[in-house]
Amino acid sequence: MPKASSGSGRPNRSREKDRLKDIPASPAPATDQQITETVEQNYMPYAMSVIVSRAIPEIDGFKPSHRKLLYTMLKMGLLTGQRTKSANVVGQTMKLNPHGDAAIYDTMVRLTRGNAALLHPLIDSKGSFGKQYSSSMVCAASRYTEVKLDRFASELFSGIDKDAVDMVDNYDGTMKEPVLLPTSFPNILVTPNFGIAVGMASKICPFNLAEVCDATTAVLRNPKVSTEKLLELMPAPDFPGGGQIIYDHDTMKSVYETGTGPVKIRAVYRYDKTQNCIDILEIPYSTTIEAIMAQLTKMVKANQLRDVTDFRDEIDKDGFKLTLDLRRGTDPDALMLRLFKETPLEDSFACNFNILIDSVPRQMGVHEIITEWIEFRSGCLRRELSFDLARKKEKLHLLLGLGKILLDIDKAIKIIRGTEKEADVVPNLCSGFSIDRLQAEFICEIRLRNLNREYILNRINEIDSLRAEIADIEETLADNLKLKKLIASQLAEIKKKYGQPRRSTVVDSGEISVFRKEDAVENYPAHFFFTAHGYLKKITDKSLRGNDTHTLKDGDSILCEFDGENISELAFFTDMGQVYRTQASVFDTCKASELGEFVPAKLGMAEGEKPLFCRMGSNWDDSSNFVFIFGNGKGVKIPASAYAVKGNRKKLTGAFSTVSPAVGIFEEKKPFEILVKTDDSRAAVFSSALMPVKTTRTSQGVQLITLKRGAKLASASRDFGDELESSRGYKKIKLPASPTAL
């Protein structure tokens, strides 16, 4: 029991003085210190520690936290064994990683199959690990989940047990850990990685494994391969969550060359006509469903989203789904264009390829990263082959000693039996057979039952194969080309075993429609007239009733006329084999007495490009066909479904064959008669039902009319009542048909 203090409640002064004598005197006040010295002594070591030992990935594609976790799981036998509790792995990893169990478990979660953050998960998981695309779906506690290494993770440790990489002490010197993992493929470009250090950051997007293997093989064959070639082999990143990558060649080339730049990603959606709703099935990798719904909620509260009656999270075991219920009459494509503009349904992944090379951060392009990885992998393979070479040479040396014993087994037995002391057995064998101590030790370890001619002969037969293997390894180590060939063969095997189709589709930026505020226009019925010279008139009911006499240019005529709405889709087929899709609202209303708007100028067509046919409606999946008549007398029918495209592409190339100029384009909902005229005053009439249907858009079809040498088709028309007094004599029932003189 401690003694009570004096009655006054104050401490005993003498004892306090004695205690204070034992406390060393505080140092004199420090002199003023320059801020630069403070930064150098205190801040810089911390900053370098964060950069080198925590936040920036190295050439194997991992930060230290990832590497320590995966190596611990390997040493636990989780590459081939059963799953174990995540808490067990976390506890074992703390022998290498001193940053605490929560940080280790968070690192593990992102590498699992259940979290869906990687194209090729490194950890096979059981239990709830949350989802990369949701911030509210958190993982279960480590005591409830189970993990083991995925089969794919074996490619990370190739040769690690053969001195492929340096091993260093852990933080308390009780065990060893690898400085890097000897990945047998460029994992740095396959596994996405983000990190924020002091004064710098790193953000590496994932690429498709098969494409990365092809690109790396190309660099192995030609170290000076161009960026354009790499873009052909590896056109864009590939994100685990899919989405549409809006491809801009110049921007992507800059990303590949400098390691920095944005990659634009759009959500993928599907319109359900029966339920009148939009199902969003894939979202950008850089956002979450909660961020999207928060922005939608904000727009609804501000009364800016009247076309959406409800939206909800429908994520289930089948995957991601965000559903938007639409108001009747809403154009889903126009709505999505607006949401792409005003919500994270379209987002950018800001690439920043900052990587540690020999503990020095470097910002590199794709070619430079692959080159550095090849150098790293070559070093790993050299060390692995040198390890194998030393073991094989050691084995060969022992077998050569065994071969000498074969000459006189009885003598060996006699020496062993005749030796009185155990310590003299090895020296006596060495002197008796002219072998060294290692060979003698090996012979002494052979069991008595194996000391027979058959066993020794079987072992000696390995000598020739060993010598061949040693020669092959030495040749590979001496020849850089053979070493690169070995790396390429490993990449080909990995591609074959683990390659997957792309999840993110690539869409050219020129084919993507962009929302503009002026696109949100009023809808109303209108009449449309398209002329042979490429003019389009959009006339309201009221204006048309006032005057139905059309003003046209000299020689011009109306090719197509139809009724529609201001938000209807228009498609223009041009003489260059292209289809331009746009909304009718982009054209101004006019009167019948006006010429209308010149379509090539309005849609930004190429110089000299001429529209030949106009079609209204966004339904390309119906049973109708498009009929194309060409100047060389051929013709073809293409199903309308061949022109259905995903997304909002505004231009479709390769719409039909351009081998011969098109003289007539028609839409066939049911068979109709076509009048064709040649430039040598001949004509024929036949039914469109005689023409075959081809599914390839650029097909030339079949010969419709037999033409004289030098003759061509001049025109084709379907409403030709005024052009012929009677079709008798011109009517044909078989193809190809011979035209009749006019």
Structural domain count, the chain: 4
Burial of 627 (0-12, 13-18, 19+ CB in 10 A): buried
Lowest-confidence segment of 265-274, 423-432, 444-453, 627-636 by average pLDDT: 444-453
Q: What is the pLDDT of residue 12?
A: 46
Q: What confidence category does residue 4 fall into, taking pLDDT thresholds of 50, 70 and 90? A: very low
Residues 476 and 535 in one domain: no
Provide the CATH number for the domain around residue 723.
2.120.10.90
Residues 673 and 728 in one domain: yes
Q: Evaluate if residue 269 carries a pLDDT over 80.
A: yes
Decide: 412 and 430 in contact? Cβ < 8 Å: no
Nearest to 635 by CA among 688, 683, 592, 588: 688
Q: What is the pLDDT of residue 5?
A: 41
Contacts of residue 230, defined as CB under 8 A and 6 or more positions apart, other chains included, come to 215, 218, 219, 256, 366, 367
Here the contacts of 515-519 (C-beta below 8 Å, separation 24 or greater) are 515/337, 515/338, 515/340, 515/341, 515/342, 519/334, 519/337, 519/338, 519/583, 519/585
Q: What confidence category does residue 583 fall into, taking pLDDT thresholds of 50, 70 and 90? A: confident
Residues 710 and 638 in one domain: yes
In a domain, 478, yes or no: yes
In a domain, 35, yes or no: no
Residues 333 and 390 in one domain: no
Q: Evaluate if residue 8 carries a pLDDT over 50.
A: no
Cα separation, 63 vs 361, in Å, equals 13
In a domain, 22, yes or no: no
Cα separation, 91 vs 97, in Å, equals 10
Beta 579-583 vs 625-630: how paired, if at all?
unpaired
Both tokens of 34, joined, read: 């320059």
Q: What confidence category does residue 450 fall into, taking pLDDT thresholds of 50, 70 and 90? A: confident
Residues 691 and 633 in one domain: yes
487 bridge partner residues: none
Q: Evaluate if residue 630 carries a pLDDT over 90.
A: yes
Q: Evaluate if residue 273 carries a pLDDT over 70.
A: yes
Beta 322-326 vs 308-313: how paired, if at all?
antiparallel
Beta 277-282 vs 268-272: how paired, if at all?
antiparallel
Q: What is the pLDDT of residue 44?
A: 82
Nearest to 330 by CA among 518, 523, 538: 523
Among 152, 183, 214, the domain boundary falls at: 183
Provide the CATH number for the domain around residue 475.
1.10.268.10
Strands (E), 415-502: none
Beta 244-247 vs 505-508: how paired, if at all?
parallel
Q: What is the pLDDT of residue 519?
A: 54
Task: Pick the more confident residue, 548 or 593.
Answer: 593
Among 467, 498, 529, the domain boundary falls at: 498
pLDDT (average), residues 3-7? 41
Q: What is the pLDDT of residue 3?
A: 41
In a domain, 62, yes or no: yes
In a domain, 567, yes or no: yes
Contacts of residue 428, defined as CB under 8 A and 6 or more positions apart, other chains included, come to 415, 416, 419
pLDDT (average), residues 690-697? 89
pLDDT (average), residues 601-628? 87
In a domain, 369, yes or no: no
Phi-psi region of 103 (alpha: psi -120 to 50; beta: other; left: phi over 0): alpha
277 bridge partner residues: 272, 325
Residues 528 and 645 in one domain: yes
Task: Pick the more confident residue, 495 or 447.
Answer: 495
- pLDDT, one tens digit per residue, over 41-93 is 788 888 888 888 788 999 999 999 999 999 999 999 999 989 999 999 999 99
H/E segment holding residue 179: none
Among 176-185, 422-431, 564-573, 720-729, the range of highest mean pLDDT: 176-185
pLDDT (average), residues 390-406? 87
Q: What is the chain's mean pLDDT, rounded?
A: 88
Both tokens of 527, joined, read: 């009449």
H/E segment holding residue 702: strand 702-703
DSSP code for 12: P
Nearest to 281 by CA among 343, 273, 272: 272
Residues 648 and 712 in one domain: yes
Lowest-confidence segment of 168-177, 188-197, 715-724 by average pLDDT: 715-724
Structural domain for 134, as ranges: 56-183
Lowest-confidence segment of 83-97, 241-255, 344-358, 678-692 by average pLDDT: 678-692
Cα separation, 519 vs 517, in Å, equals 5
Cα separation, 549 vs 552, in Å, equals 10
Q: What is the pLDDT of residue 9?
A: 42
* Residues, the chain: 742
Can you say whether the dihedral through the CA atoms of 41, 42, 43, 44 is positive or negative? positive
Maximum separation of any 2 CA atoms in the chain, in Å: 138
Task: Pick the more confident residue, 566 or 693.
Answer: 693
Q: Evaluate if residue 418 carries a pLDDT over 70.
A: yes
Q: What confidence category does residue 669 fall into, taking pLDDT thresholds of 50, 70 and 90? A: confident
Cα separation, 674 vs 708, in Å, equals 20
Lowest-confidence segment of 233-237, 300-304, 369-373 by average pLDDT: 300-304
Q: How far is CA 246 from CA 117, 237, 254, 507, 509, in A?
A: 21, 11, 15, 5, 5
Q: DSSP assignment of 27-78, as one string?
A: PPPPPP--HHHHIIIIIHHHHHHHIIIIIS-BTTS--HHHHHHHHHHHHTTT
Q: What is the pLDDT of residue 30?
A: 54
Residues 114 and 91 in one domain: yes
Q: Evaluate if residue 416 carries a pLDDT over 70.
A: yes
- pLDDT, one tens digit per residue, over 202-244 is 999 999 999 999 999 999 999 999 999 999 999 999 999 999 9
- pLDDT, one tens digit per residue, over 90-139 is 999 999 988 889 999 999 999 999 999 999 999 999 999 999 999 999 89
Residues involved in catalysis: 144
Provide the CATH number for the domain around residue 141.
3.90.199.10
Q: Evaluate if residue 2 carries a pLDDT over 90.
A: no
Cα separation, 351 vs 264, in Å, equals 11
Residues 534 and 621 in one domain: yes
Q: Evaluate if residue 177 carries a pLDDT over 50.
A: yes
Cα separation, 340 vs 243, in Å, equals 12
686 bridge partner residues: 674
DSSP code for 156: G
Nearest to 283 by CA among 252, 325, 240: 240
Provide the CATH number for the domain around residue 309.
3.30.1360.40
In a domain, 349, yes or no: no
Residues 536 and 671 in one domain: yes
pLDDT (average), residues 150-163? 94
Burial of 403 (0-12, 13-18, 19+ CB in 10 A): middle
Cα separation, 547 vs 227, in Å, equals 60
Decide: 186 and 216 in contact? Cβ < 8 Å: yes
In a domain, 356, yes or no: no
Q: Evaluate if residue 618 carries a pLDDT over 90.
A: no
What is the distance in angstroms between the CA of the first residue and the CA of the last residue of the chain?
131
Decide: 178 and 160 in contact? Cβ < 8 Å: yes
Residues 395 and 460 in one domain: yes
Residues 487 and 540 in one domain: no
Decide: 386 and 238 in contact? Cβ < 8 Å: no
Helix%, strand%, coil% for the chain, nearest 5: 35, 20, 40
Among 248-262, 431-445, 522-536, the range of highest mean pLDDT: 248-262
Cα separation, 375 vs 56, in Å, equals 20
Among 498, 529, 549, the domain boundary falls at: 498
Decide: 583 and 540 in contact? Cβ < 8 Å: no
SS3 for 443? helix
